[in-house]
Amino acid sequence: MPNDKHRPGALDEPVRAFYLRVLDGLTKADAPFLVGGAYALRHYTGVERDTKDFDIFVRREDYDSVMAVLDAAGCTTELTFPHWLGKATCEHALVDVIFSSGNGVALVDDEWFAHSVRGHVFDVPVRLCPAEEMIWSKAFITERERYDGADIMHILLACAETLDWDRLLKRFDVHWRVLFSYLCLFGFVYPSERARIPAWVMLGLIGRLEEEINAPPSSGRICQGTLISREQYLPDLEQGGFEDARLTMTHAMTQEEIAHWTRAINEKK
């Protein structure tokens, strides 16, 4: 049997101890949080992978109180991107404290908590992000350096029969084409499993596509590519004369938030 320290997802002891300290502090404070990221993915799919951080999800209105708990636990905290994410760090590792998504679409709300599931992380009982919200938030991550499509395929493979499809469709709402693209891809990745996506879901989305094909094109020149990549569609805004879809959403980002998020691109290179 391979050494457990060398299996995917295994952590150095100081990192594990830090995450345990975070979970202990949040649990004792009865803080409202959900665990997501690689640990939730493993719960749903069994897929393990190395991870450089620990993702917890909170409502925006709970962010300050959660960060106060992490401050008290000895973390250094910062509101890294005011529209969606903060970080809590020690010398060994970091925790991402997430209340929305980089594009401003997947806002953490009460439904995340109402439909969360019980699980364990490091043998500690926690609540995990719902599979539907994981699909929703991951579907918009298609950067050159990061693409979460395989995570979505694995969640669909593991959970297709138990997903709340009505709720998932409502989550994507006007962005239904994004969901449709992944459901089509699922049938390509797993040809023998494609029938596990309910026929009524696929036919309903095909019906929407037919209606859209037969309808007049949108009068406004909006680029929605910025919802799936903060970098790769910037030429369309800067040179193509398209309007940034992030400025037109219900929970629209501000110009300042977009500029801050765009400047951080170079930090990833």
pLDDT digit string (tens) for 87-119? 999 887 899 999 999 999 999 999 999 999 999
In the chain, where the domains are located: 1-128, 222-268
* pTM for the full predicted model: 0.94
Burial class (CB within 10 angstroms; exposed 0-12, middle 13-18, buried 19+) of 11: middle
Cα separation of 226 and 103, whole Å? 8
Contacts (Cβ under 8 Å, ≥6 apart) of 185: 149, 153
Q: Which of the 8 DSSP states describes residue 265?
A: G
Cα separation of 128 and 33, whole Å? 9
- Whether the pLDDT of residue 123 is over 60: the answer is yes
Quick: pLDDT tens for 70-93: 999 889 999 999 999 999 998 878
Q: Which of the 8 DSSP states describes residue 2?
A: -
When the candidates are 3.30.460.40, 3.55.50.30, 3.20.20.150, 2.60.40.10, the CATH number that belongs to 1-128 is 3.30.460.40
pLDDT band of residue 181 (cuts 50, 70, 90) is very high
Task: Please state, rounded to an integer, the average pLDDT across all residues of the chain.
Answer: 93
Strands 94-98 and 85-89: antiparallel
Confirm if 37 and 97 have CB atoms less than 8 A apart.
Answer: no
Measure Cα distances from 43 to 106, 119, 151, 207 in Å: 21, 7, 12, 34
Q: Mean pLDDT across the stretch 132-150?
A: 97
pLDDT band of residue 9 (cuts 50, 70, 90) is low
- Whether the pLDDT of residue 250 is over 60: the answer is yes
| pLDDT at residue 8 in the model | 46
Quick: pLDDT tens for 11-30: 788 899 999 999 999 999 99
- Whether the pLDDT of residue 178 is over 60: the answer is yes
- Whether the pLDDT of residue 269 is over 60: the answer is no
- Residue 117, beta-bridge partner list: 128
